[in-house]
Structures are given as structure tokens and as C-alpha cells.
Amino acid sequence: MATTYDYVGSTTTTQYFGTGAIANGKDRDYVMSRRVNLADAVTSFLTPAGGTAFGANDVLKVMNVPAKTWVKAVMVTVVTADTTVTDTDVGDGDNVDGYVDGLSLAVADVVAGSILQTDTAPTTAYSVPVGGGKYYLVDDTIDVKLITAGGVDGVIDIVAVCTDMSNVNV
């Protein structure tokens, strides 16, 4: 059975490689970014219970999305390949692969996302060509789903391009 882990709540702000910032607090574009280190996640969530690797379909909540935010695009870069060759999806609570579908962590320097992909054009539900991103009426998270069991030492960077729309009646 798959498990969901709150990676956001278990890590410190120093593990963000860039913090989300909203200029003047309203109606502005901003970028949220997050480095996800699977070795750190294993240590935080699995080691205390005797586990050594994530199971198939486990989910890491990696980035908080505030209510009234339009996430226009999400990009994922594999910084360090995972030795267990885990495939991942990136999405949210409504659609686990809304931004990225089936990204392999087996090779470093692979870029995928809702704007571009190194192997094919993006066709996910929230991709720019298909859905134009996603508007979040209520708080949610951007999540990484580990499709296959494993995920022990890979590192990925996730970048979300957002607009704060809290001053707009939507």
C-alpha cells in the first residue's frame, strides 16, 4: 500500500535552494523552487521504522501551494541519478501526474516539465500546451509520486512558476 510523506513539513527552509517570494504580496509572478534529496527523505521517514527504500506509488509532498495561486508551469531536473532507477510523476492531490508523467531518475541532467521535455512534447493535464497550468482555489501541495519501488539516493530540483491572484475575484 502506498504511503504519503510530508517532505515539506520534515525539512527546513535551508533545504530550499531558492525561496518563493511574492513582490508586494499581491498579483505578482514568482518562482518557488525545491531540492528533493531522496537519501534525506529515506533517513527522515523510513530509517526510524527500519525501512531502507520507498515503496511503489509512495508520494512525497514537496511544495506548498497557497490558495488563489495560478501555477503556470513546473520543471523538474534530475541533479543526481538514483541508483534504483525510480520513475516519478509530479502533480498534486487532484492529478498525480498533472505536471510530469513518468520521468526516469536513472540519468542525471534530464529535464522534464509542463513547458518542455527532453524526449517528447509535454502532454500532461497541466502542461502549457494542454491545460495552461492550474489555478488553486484552496491550499494544496505539489507532490512527487515514486512510481516504482526504490528511490534511495537521487536528487531532483523542482521549479514552479506561479502568480499570486489573491487580489482577483476568481
Per-residue pLDDT of the chain (170 residues; tens, 9 = 90+): 677 777 776 554 444 333 344 444 555 888 888 889 998 888 888 888 888 888 999 999 999 999 999 898 888 889 999 988 788 889 998 988 888 888 888 888 777 765 554 444 555 677 665 567 888 999 999 999 999 888 889 999 998 988 888 887 75
CA distances from 60 to 4, 51, 96, 142, 145 (A): 6, 16, 11, 9, 6
Backbone angles phi, psi at 48, to 5 degrees: -60, -25
State whether the Cα torsion 109-121-101-64 is positive or negative.
Answer: positive
Question: Cα-atom radius of gyration of the chain, to the nearest Å?
Answer: 15
CB atoms near residue 95 (< 10 Å): 16
Assigned CATH for 4-164: 2.60.120
pLDDT tens track for 147-164: 988 888 999 999 898 888
